[in-house]
């Protein structure tokens, strides 16, 4: 489906069908957004997601009037709201149409400063082409699932709530977790649990699933948790299904592949001094971002067999810091889900 048609299905904000221009109306609520997230000032909206590292994201992206950003993971709209409140225009992208509908309602007061676009951020070239924007001042990716997705049993992400074994962020496309669990062979299931779940008992889990599904199709989160619980012992630290669910979620949504694609494309859509800011929640994702920024931030590359260093053809970013930015103790206390968040930032160099 064309992005514009998908946008129509989700609905646009305040008649804001057009490309956000650089002369939007100032919106004065500078102090309303750094406290706990209550779904913005639209009071009848339920809680959706508490955005992490708010101050740090603002410090990295430096939003302001006349600036334009791609929020590739709009979710409940918390980070988008920060940028909008600072006067910037935001192209708000999410592959979950439920998320975008929520963010659209929440951010309606910003009119055409906010442009919701239902899309996968890895398809950013289509997004930019369809809305006619060449480059932006910043791209934010806040990877992973939202609290809403995790907490809604019917989305199938949670082993602690019974629901259909779905786990698709984009509910209108692709295979569900139930499809994988019932159709993939033991070897492939084992690979998913080993590589994406980093589960030590991946072999046992895959074998138990293949044996259980011969008796009865595995269609719910409860069924899958029980199968896993029968072969991986519960510890006080975590539920035995934790890593199995993580692995399946990553596979269902091709999370690592889509992240890699987006990172590779990002530099083409950033202005000079434009900022790429990526928040991750586990080491598999963080490693991808860290290695990408390392490879693209070295002006020269050297190999022992070369007589001298050569210009790095992938050089695109300068790094304000090589270290990831992590939440303060205070933030973690208020929002335990922020515990494993890491923010990495690259600043686009001018074209050479
Ligand atoms: C952690 S939440 C983002 C929360 C958001 N920053 C906020 O302040 O509410 C991640 C969101 O990104 C979306 N998402 C994850 N991967 C995506 C992708 N490849 N393309 C588009 N959206 C994606 C999910 O559907 C989810 O809504």
Min mean pLDDT across 17-26, 84-93, 201-210 is at: 17-26
- Which residue bears the tokens 């029980």? 226
Using 50, 70 and 90 to split pLDDT, how confident is the model at 324? Answer: very high
% of the chain with per-residue pLDDT over 70: 87
Write down the pLDDT at residue 50.
Answer: 87
For the chain, what is the radius of gyration of the CA atoms? 21
Tell me the CA–centroid distance for residue 79 and ligand 1, in Å.
Answer: 11
Mean of per-residue pLDDT scores for the chain: 87
Write down the pLDDT at residue 34.
Answer: 58
Mean pLDDT, range 234-240, rounded to an integer = 77
Using 50, 70 and 90 to split pLDDT, how confident is the model at 10? Answer: very low
Write down the pLDDT at residue 23.
Answer: 39
Using 50, 70 and 90 to split pLDDT, how confident is the model at 19? Answer: very low
User: What is the length of the chain?
Assistant: 352
Per residue in 164-180, pLDDT (tens digit) is 999 999 999 889 999 99
Atom of ligand 1 nearest to the CA of 76: 9
Write down the pLDDT at residue 236.
Answer: 65
Ligand 1 neighbourhood includes 63 CB (under 6 angstroms): no
User: CB under 8 Å to 175, separation ≥6 — which residues?
Assistant: 168, 252
Write down the pLDDT at residue 21.
Answer: 37
Mean pLDDT, range 20-40, rounded to an integer = 43
Write down the pLDDT at residue 13.
Answer: 26
Query: Which two structure tokens, joined as six digits, stand for 269?
Result: 């859509």
Atom of ligand 1 nearest to the CA of 75: 27
> Given phi > 0 = left and psi -120 to 50 = alpha, else beta, which region is 157?
alpha
**294: pLDDT strictly greater than 50:** yes
Please state the φ and ψ torsions of residue 280, each to the nearest 5 degrees: -125, 165
Mean pLDDT, range 50-60, rounded to an integer = 95
Mean pLDDT, range 94-113, rounded to an integer = 94
Write down the pLDDT at residue 275.
Answer: 98
- Nearest residue (by CA) to ligand 1, atom 14, is 73
**302: pLDDT strictly greater than 60:** yes
- Nearest residue (by CA) to ligand 1, atom 13, is 73
Nearest to 254 by CA among 169, 315, 162: 169
**32: pLDDT strictly greater than 60:** no
Using 50, 70 and 90 to split pLDDT, how confident is the model at 121? Answer: very high
Mean pLDDT, range 321-336, rounded to an integer = 94
Using 50, 70 and 90 to split pLDDT, how confident is the model at 42? Answer: low
Ligand 1 neighbourhood includes 144 CB (under 6 angstroms): yes
Ligand 1 neighbourhood includes 76 CB (under 6 angstroms): yes
In terms of pLDDT, which residue wins out, 257 or 38?
Answer: 257
Map residue 31 onto helix, strand or coil.
Answer: coil
Query: Which two structure tokens, joined as six digits, stand for 7?
Result: 């946008």
Write down the pLDDT at residue 35.
Answer: 56
For residue 143, CA distances in Å to 1, 20, 148, 169, 344 come to: 24, 24, 14, 12, 12
254 in Cβ contact with 195 (< 8 Å): no
Atom of ligand 1 nearest to the CA of 148: 27
Using 50, 70 and 90 to split pLDDT, how confident is the model at 36? Answer: low
Mean pLDDT, range 298-304, rounded to an integer = 94
**285: pLDDT strictly greater than 50:** yes
Using 50, 70 and 90 to split pLDDT, how confident is the model at 152? Answer: confident
Tell me the CA–centroid distance for residue 237 and ligand 1, in Å.
Answer: 27
What's the first-to-final CA gap in the chain, in angstroms?
A: 37
- Nearest residue (by CA) to ligand 1, atom 27, is 75
Ligand 1 neighbourhood includes 247 CB (under 6 angstroms): no
Atom of ligand 1 nearest to the CA of 123: 20
Mean pLDDT, range 278-301, rounded to an integer = 96
- Which residue segments constitute the domains of the chain, with CATH numbers given? 3-148+256-348 (3.40.50.150), 171-252 (1.10.150.170)
- Which residue bears the tokens 């895959």? 206
Q: Alpha helices of the chain — where are they, by DSSP H? A: 3-10, 54-61, 78-85, 97-106, 124-131, 147-151, 177-183, 186-191, 202-215, 221-229, 242-252, 255-266, 283-295, 329-334
Min mean pLDDT across 157-166, 262-271, 320-329 is at: 157-166
- Nearest residue (by CA) to ligand 1, atom 9, is 76
**58: pLDDT strictly greater than 60:** yes
Which DSSP category does 51 fall into?
-
Mean pLDDT, range 270-298, rounded to an integer = 97
Ligand 1 neighbourhood includes 94 CB (under 6 angstroms): yes
């Amino acid at each position: 489906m064309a992005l514009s048609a998908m946008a129509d299905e989700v609905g646009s904000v305040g008649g804001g069908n057009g490309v956000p221009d650089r002369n939007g109306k100032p919106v004065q609520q500078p102090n309303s957004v750094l406290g706990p997230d209550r779904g913005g000032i639209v009071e009848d909206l339920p809680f959706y997601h508490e955005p992490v590292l708010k101050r740090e994201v603002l410090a990295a992206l430096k939003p302001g009037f006349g600036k334009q950003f791609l929020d590739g993971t709009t979710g409940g709209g918390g980070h988008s709201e920060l940028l909008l409140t600072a006067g910037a225009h935001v192209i708000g992208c999410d592959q979950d149409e439920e998320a975008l509908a929520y963010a659209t309602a929440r951010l309606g007061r910003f009119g055409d400063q906010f442009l919701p676009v239902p899309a996968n951020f890895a398809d950013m070239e289509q997004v930019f082409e369809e809305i006619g924007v060449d480059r932006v001042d910043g791209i934010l990716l806040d990877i992973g699932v939202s609290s809403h997705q995790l907490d809604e049993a019917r989305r199938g992400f949670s082993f602690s709530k019974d629901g259909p074994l779905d786990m698709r962020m984009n509910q209108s496309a692709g295979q569900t977790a139930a499809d994988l669990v019932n159709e993939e062979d033991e070897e492939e299931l084992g690979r998913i649990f080993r590589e994406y779940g980093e589960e030590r008992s991946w072999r046992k889990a895959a074998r138990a699933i293949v044996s259980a599904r011969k008796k009865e199709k595995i269609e719910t989160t409860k069924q899958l948790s029980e199968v896993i619980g029968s072969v991986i012992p519960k510890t006080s630290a975590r539920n035995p299904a934790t890593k199995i669910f993580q692995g399946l979620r990553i596979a269902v949504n091709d999370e690592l592949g889509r992240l890699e694609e987006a990172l590779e494309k990002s530099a083409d859509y950033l202005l000079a001094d434009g900022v790429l800011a990526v928040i991750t929640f586990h080491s598999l994702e963080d490693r991808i971002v860290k290695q990408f920024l390392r490879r693209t931030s070295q002006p020269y590359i050297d190999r022992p067999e070369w007589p001298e260093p050569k210009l790095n053809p992938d050089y695109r970013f300068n790094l304000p810091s090589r270290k990831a930015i992590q939440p303060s103790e205070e933030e973690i206390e208020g929002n335990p889900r922020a515990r494993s968040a890491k923010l990495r930032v690259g600043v686009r160099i001018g074209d050479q």
